[in-house]
Chain A
Amino acid sequence: MNFVLLVLSAVLTNNFITVKTYGICPFLGVSKNTKSALGMGVAVTVVMFLATLVTYPIYKFIMTPLHITFLWIIFFIFIIAALVQMLEAIIRKISPSLYNTMGVYLPLITTNCAVLGVTQLFNGVENLSDIVKGATGAMNLGWSILYALFAGIGFTLVMVIMSGLREKLNCCKVSKSLSGFPVSMIAAAFICMAFTIFAQIKI
């Protein structure tokens, strides 16, 4: 039950882009075609998952006992930057074809709100119900990495929908001052409206 609630919450009702407005820069910048949108989405998902896996124990077992939680911004941004660099080097070494599809987006991810946003979501949270409405039990590493993983999947979903819309928009005639960012933002507004429906889901 907790798992179903968590998946629905992370992917649909609390979607990172359409509800929380995290990670709008890649959402508007890298959604020109479906292939690059998918690559970016997968890269963000992987980094979100790994970043949470590393930062959650550090926050809970190192920073909290030492009372240095106020330094979390500096710690987390460094961990994320180092992680992204490492991941890029590993992917380049192991699989050049994967590097070509996904690796090129990795350097952009360090300054992505979605990654820092998801890692700080779990700071000092004791109960699962603080993050997932209606769930019961204590917050632990397993729930937090699952939440990060599914939040990344929700991010990818919206990125892909947006790229489809923008590919269609290329065929339309738009007036000069509206073309570019304004018209894609209005398209994004319609995606957000569609996603507000999911807020009505009750289990």
Chain B
Amino acid sequence: MNKYKKITLDGIIFSNPTFMLVLGTCPTLAMIKSSATSAAGMGLCVLVVLTLSNMIISALRKVIPNQVRIPCYIVIIATLVTLVQMVLEKFVPSLYDSLGTFLALIVVNCIVLGRAEAFANKHTVVESALDGIANGLGFTLALTVMGIVCEFLGSGSIFGLKIMNFKIAMFSSPAGAFIVYGLSIALFTYIIDVFQRSRRVKANKIARENLLDSRAAANNGDTTEVNA
């Protein structure tokens, strides 16, 4: 069970594709500058494509020859993206319009090919599916948070609901998206750094106490032996 917990935490926090690895930057910047809704929609599309491609590649990992694996992965991913595009065009046309060209560009999103190459071709189907969901969720959460920040600063609304009557037009342009993305990475790495340091201090403390305990126990053992 611990293995699954580690995969989930790694995907969402410790190797978050957006903040820690800085992958898939083009859709991130394009979507957070347009609106929080399209950012979340983009995240969910990547989540679906990533989970399915991870599962298919993992199931076929013993069949695909090693020399031509990259073209095979690209065919699988391109097929899945085409399917997602058709489904969205039919059932959610508003989201299809707001994602625009970036929906097709999921094919060349480094996260999808990166997870296939780094994880799915070495692990079982269940683990790969979980990895896809975790990484997709990490991407979706990051995009949604940055999308909310950009949309609030850029138009004073969140998910299309007007909250305050002000706008800083820069935040609905690529410049504002770059600033929000850069500062978010800085904040995220800082928080993770502080968290890791406190965890390391705690672990050291526990280790020292255990050492002292065992030493005390050993000393006690020695004295009892001597007494005996």
Is A bound to B?
A: yes
Nearest-Cβ distance from residue A83 to partner chain B, whole angstroms: 14
Interface string of B165-194 (1 = CB under 8 A from A): 000001001111111011101110110010
Cβ–Cβ contact B82 & A192, under 8 A: no
Interface string of A110-123 (1 = CB under 8 A from B): 11110011001100
Could you tell me the distance between the alpha carbons of A23 and B27 in the complex, rounded to whole angstroms? 10
Cβ–Cβ contact B25 & A177, under 8 A: no
Nearest-Cβ distance from residue B175 to partner chain A, whole angstroms: 4
Cβ–Cβ contact B178 & A189, under 8 A: yes
Cβ–Cβ contact A74 & B78, under 8 A: yes
Give the residue of A74, A116, A177, A192 whose beta carbon is less than 8 angstroms from that of B173: A192
Give the residue of B86, B179, B189 whose beta carbon is less than 8 angstroms from that of A185: B179
* Most chain B beta carbons < 10 A, residue from A21, A177, A184, A192: A21
Chain A, interface size category, equals 35 or more
Give the residue of B25, B33, B78, B185 whose beta carbon is less than 8 angstroms from that of A73: B78
Quick one: given A21-B30, A25-B25, A25-B26, are A185 and B74 in contact (CB under 8 Å)?
A: no
Give the residue of B86, B107, B174, B193 whose beta carbon is less than 8 angstroms from that of A21: B174
The interface residues of chain A, by DSSP majority, are classed as helix
Q: Considering the complex, which residues of chain B in the window 101-150 have a beta carbon less than 8 Å from any beta carbon of chain A?
A: 101, 104-105, 107-108, 110, 113
Quick one: given A24-B29, A73-B104, are A182 and B186 in contact (CB under 8 Å)?
A: yes
Give the residue of A25, A177, A185 whose beta carbon is less than 8 angstroms from that of B110: A25
Interface string of B65-98 (1 = CB under 8 A from A): 0000001001100110110011000000000000
Nearest-Cβ distance from residue A184 to partner chain B, whole angstroms: 8
Q: Which residue of A has the minimal Cβ distance to B186? A: A182
B216 at interface by CB-CB < 8 Å:
no
Quick one: given A71-B82, A185-B181, are A77 and B107 in contact (CB under 8 Å)?
A: yes
B207 at interface by CB-CB < 8 Å:
no
Could you tell me the distance between the alpha carbons of A77 and B29 in the complex, rounded to whole angstroms? 22
A98 at interface by CB-CB < 8 Å:
no
> Can you pick out 13 interface pairs between chain A and chain B where the beta carbons lie within 8 Å of each other?
A21-B26, A21-B177, A25-B25, A116-B104, A117-B105, A177-B187, A182-B185, A184-B182, A185-B181, A185-B182, A188-B178, A189-B174, A192-B174
**Partner-A contacts on B (CB < 8 A):** 22-23, 25-26, 29-30, 33, 71, 74-75, 78-79, 81-82, 85-86, 101, 104-105, 107-108, 110, 113, 170, 173-179, 181-183, 185-187, 189-190, 193
Interface contacts beyond A21-B177, A177-B187, A177-B189: sample of 13 additional A-B pairs, CB < 8 Å, sorted by A: A21-B33, A23-B26, A70-B86, A73-B82, A74-B78, A110-B108, A117-B105, A181-B185, A182-B185, A185-B185, A189-B175, A196-B173, A196-B175
